Amino acid sequence: MMKKALSLVLAIAFLFAANAQDYRQEYLKTNQKLTKQEKTYLKFLYDYMPLNDIADYETDFFLEQVRTAIKAKKTFSWGKKVPEDIFKHYVLVYRVNNENLDTARTYMFNELKDRIKGMSMYEAALEVNHWCHEKVNYKAADGRTSSPLATMKTSWGRCGEESTFTVTALRSVGIPARQCYTPRWAHTDDNHAWVEVWIDGKWYYLGACEPEPELNFAWFDAPVKRAMMVHTTVFGKYNGKEQKNYEADLYSKINLLSNYTATKKLSVIVKDENGNPIEGAKVEYGLYNYAEYYPLATLTTNKEGKTTLETGFGDLMIWASKGDLTAQAKAEGTQETLNLTLKKQQFVPNTSMTYVLYPPVAKSIDSLTQEQISANAIRLAFEDSIRTAYINTFAANRNSNRWIKHLNTWNVKQEVVEDFINRSWGNYDEIEKVLESGDENAVKMLSLVYDKDLRDGNAEILLSHLKAYKNYPAKEEALVEWVLNPRIQLEKITPYREYLQEYFKDYAQQFTFCPQTIADWINSNIKINNTDNYY
């Protein structure tokens, strides 16, 4: 727990992560209890996992992921059909996006194994999604992705959380699955995430926690046929047939657009003013959305000065640059090649340019039968009732007697505290424990954190912040928000405060007197690495 706190708060302590990696590899060599298959799969995970995962989670956690994946492979009839490469990248992998990790795989396997017994792979994928709908529904939330079990405890999440939850459930029963994104829609503002499943050699799509009677049907059927990009992040060295928009040592971003609509390959050729190709120029393929040109992909030119992106038949704005040389132009939907000449641009005040950009045209979509739609609606209503019954247990099980006696001490109204409990949803017990402590700063802290922290915050961790805050409290009331608040940005709250106070106890006076020494220590000891922390 202590090393977890340090790694999450101080970005990446490179030496620590390297030492942890050395320990893991030694573990694989010396542990006689591991089977050959377990060692192979653990090594795959350790070779390609983000550095923060190496630092944040113990070996036993990853071993349990491996063993449950193997169990699923042996339990279900389709386990023998899944090629090893697909299994490693889309079943074995424990992470879907940037969610905090938990034991959802084991829990979901035990919940689902009897429910899908005897089903075909296709039928099982549909049934798993129905189970997901019983547990989780859509509601907007902040950008931090809750762990699957935290999402289930809440009973709702945004599309990124629904798809993380559903991919985890599918993988738990040995069905290869991946989270897909359109980073921006082409025809309107906004974006979306959903799920693809591999069934008998073919990838299908589904709306996460939004079950339909068949695969390849979802509410976004029409929008995705007008998309300009659909992609997913693949853990490890992946050599599938999909185009790689980006490839690093530990992962790739692959292009899935051709699974949904007609595509073209748009090539951008970059030259200098003498007509010579420029190698190493950055080319951004920009889609207009949310009043900006969002880069669907950023590629680097080869020796011929060329980049190529598979995309749809809509307009894009293309930017190319190298050093202080730049160029830009619109690529029309029917265009397959765009030539750009890099040069130093002269700024001319009070000038503007007008562009008209068109998305791909709307296309026809397949339809379900009315009988299928009606039968599915009845089933969805029943699943909604299951989830609603679970939500109704929240209020029934709350116990305000644990904290109501402290109201006078805190000098707040009961409805203020009740609001924290209501916003905690299925996590009410943890928040009640924090309030039960009676700490004079409990209400202040809970008023500072985000709603999602109330829904998945751990009482022990939150209480550790209250305890440690007393050692270095805010010197002025106006500064409480910037000292007491346990959250920095969008990370899940960890018990870093007590750990850092102990770790830096010999530096505390110096840090307090001159905060610049904190920056100096960080600059000397911490290296930011975005490439190897790709989630």
pLDDT at site 527: 86
pLDDT at site 5: 41
Tell whether the model's pLDDT for residue 24 goes beyond 80.
no
CA distances from 498 to 1, 11, 229, 449, 486 (A): 11, 17, 45, 18, 11
Fold held by 262-341: Immunoglobulin-like (2.60.40)
Per-domain residue ranges of the chain: 2-256, 262-341, 398-503
pLDDT tier for residue 14 given thresholds of 50, 70 and 90: very low
For 514, other C-beta atoms within 10 Å of its C-beta total 11
Q: What is the mean pLDDT of residues 405-415?
A: 93
Q: Quote the CA–CA distance of 243 and 343 in Å, as a whole number.
A: 30
Q: Are 259 and 205 in contact (CB under 8 A)?
A: yes
Lay out the sheet containing 306-311: strands in order across: 306-311, 264-271, 337-341
Question: Looking at residue 323, what DSSP letter applies?
Answer: T
CA distances from 163 to 13, 49, 166, 230, 347 (A): 31, 20, 5, 14, 45
pLDDT at site 357: 94
pLDDT digits 0-9 by tens, 500-523? 999 999 999 999 999 999 999 999
pLDDT tier for residue 533 given thresholds of 50, 70 and 90: confident
pLDDT at site 348: 83
Name the least confident of 158-172, 202-216, 404-418. 404-418
pLDDT at site 173: 98
For residue 317, which of 325, 308, 307, 327 has the smallest C-alpha distance?
327
Tell whether the model's pLDDT for residue 15 goes beyond 60.
no
Tell whether the model's pLDDT for residue 20 goes beyond 90.
no
Question: Looking at residue 343, what DSSP letter applies?
Answer: B
Tell whether the model's pLDDT for residue 13 goes beyond 80.
no
Q: What is the mean pLDDT of residues 66-84?
A: 97
pLDDT tier for residue 3 given thresholds of 50, 70 and 90: very low
Tell whether the model's pLDDT for residue 121 goes beyond 50.
yes
Tell whether the model's pLDDT for residue 82 goes beyond 60.
yes
- For the chain, first and last CA: distance in Å? 21
pLDDT tier for residue 425 given thresholds of 50, 70 and 90: very high
Taking the whole predicted model, whether its pTM rises above 0.85 is answered as yes
pLDDT digits 0-9 by tens, 27-43? 666 666 899 999 999 99
pLDDT tier for residue 152 given thresholds of 50, 70 and 90: very high
- 352 SS3 class: coil
Mean pLDDT of the chain: 92
Q: Quote the CA–CA distance of 309 and 338 in Å, as a whole number.
A: 12
| Most distant CA atoms of the chain, gap in Å | 81
pLDDT digits 0-9 by tens, 281-297? 999 999 999 999 999 99
pLDDT tier for residue 17 given thresholds of 50, 70 and 90: low
pLDDT tier for residue 211 given thresholds of 50, 70 and 90: very high
For residue 173, which of 218, 120, 215 has the smallest C-alpha distance?
120
pLDDT at site 519: 95
pLDDT tier for residue 351 given thresholds of 50, 70 and 90: confident
Helix ranges restricted to H, 220-319: 221-224
pLDDT at site 193: 97
Considering the chain, what percentage of its residues have pLDDT values greater than 90?
Answer: 85
pLDDT tier for residue 2 given thresholds of 50, 70 and 90: very low
For 290, other C-beta atoms within 10 Å of its C-beta total 11
- 20 SS3 class: helix
Q: Quote the CA–CA distance of 215 and 237 in Å, as a whole number.
A: 28
Angle separating helix axes 496-503 and 459-469, nearest 10 degrees: 40
CA distances from 470 to 42, 109, 139, 140, 459 (A): 42, 44, 37, 35, 17
